Amino acid sequence: MKQIRPMFLETICIKNGAVRNLQAHVERMRRTAEHFGFAAPELPCLEVMLPEPLRDKKVKCRIEYKGTICNIGFTAYTPKVIRSLRLVKADNVDYSFKFSDRARLDALNNRRGQCDEALIVQNGCITDTTYSNVVFRKNKEFFTPGTCLLNGTKRQKLLRESIIREAEITVDNLHEYEHVYLINSMLDIEDGVGIPVRNIYPSGHW
């Protein structure tokens, strides 16, 4: 029986008509394709495709692909409001590649209770939320868990630029940090989407 190839996803930021960090997304598509045994499709010129009403906005470009580009969508981006995070244990989740199917991540997020988003824990270590990497602030320095589920393009960029450093961040040492920021292709530390660490709640408690 022929194996069905999964669908993959790239989410690219376009701001004021200009594509951001494009090469990192192209390289991730190539790594994904190589791992799963197909040739990465070439991206069209997204700036030309961008609808006119979105050209002066921050835009989320969502690209689904297999051996070819299957779908490209553009939407004006509004950050999700985050006031609290819930620690959710998930020791068997592998998201080292960016799949279009988010069913397992959505199932984890459904366990967040009254909090705004799940913060995933594997083997006692902090990883990611269901849609972002995380950066923790301590004494004016910034750290990201070395145990991330997905090494996101923004995370890679901030590491290259030495703005953040990797650290072993666990449930047990979480209290040593002051603030957590959510980062992804659409969000940077300076966007301020984050919360004080005291607003991270353990599983089963509010």
The answer to whether residues 196 and 165 belong to one domain is: yes
Per-residue pLDDT reduced to its tens digit, 135-144: 999 999 999 9
Q: Is residue 3 part of a domain?
A: no
Average pLDDT over residues 134-160: 97
My answer on whether 34 and 136 are in the same domain is no
End-to-end CA distance of the chain: 48
Same domain, 197 and 117: yes
Bridge pairing between strands 165-167 and 200-201? unpaired
pLDDT of residue 206: 39
76, 102, 128 — which closes off a domain? 76
Q: How far is CA 177 from CA 73, 141, 147, 182, in A?
A: 37, 10, 17, 14
Structure tokens, 4: 């069905």
- The token duo for 173 is 């040492």
Mean of the per-residue pLDDT values for the chain?
95
Residues 72, 98 within the same domain: no
pLDDT score of 1: 45
**Per-residue model confidence as pLDDT tens digits over 45-86:** 999 999 999 999 999 999 999 999 999 999 999 999 999 999
27 found inside a domain: yes
**pLDDT of 24-39, one tens digit each?**
999 999 999 999 999 9
CATH of the domain at 174: 3.20.10.10
Query: Residue 2: pLDDT above 80?
Result: no
CATH number at residue 38: 3.30.470.10
Q: Any residues with CB less than 8 A from the CB of 106 and at least 6 apart, and which?
A: 130
Look at residue 1 and tell me if it is in a domain.
no
d(CA 39, CA 33): 6
Q: How many domains does the chain have?
A: 2
Q: Do both 115 and 54 map to the same domain? A: no
Residues 34 and 69 in one domain: yes
Q: Which residues contact 39 (CB under 8 A, 6 or more apart)?
A: 33, 67
Which 3 state secondary structure label does DSSP give 150?
coil
Rounded Cα distance between 74 and 65, Å, is 15
Sheet containing 58-65: give its strands across. 18-19, 8-15, 58-65, 69-76
> Do 68 and 90 share a domain, yes or no?
no
* Same-domain pairing of 70 and 153: no
Of residues 203 and 151, the one with the higher pLDDT is 151
Domain range enclosing 188: 85-201
What per-residue confidence (pLDDT) applies to 49? 97
pLDDT of residue 204: 60
Tell me, yes or no, whether 95 and 23 share the same domain: no
Q: Quick one: 110 and 59 in the same domain? A: no
**Which of 49-58, 94-103, 147-156 has the weakest average pLDDT?**
94-103
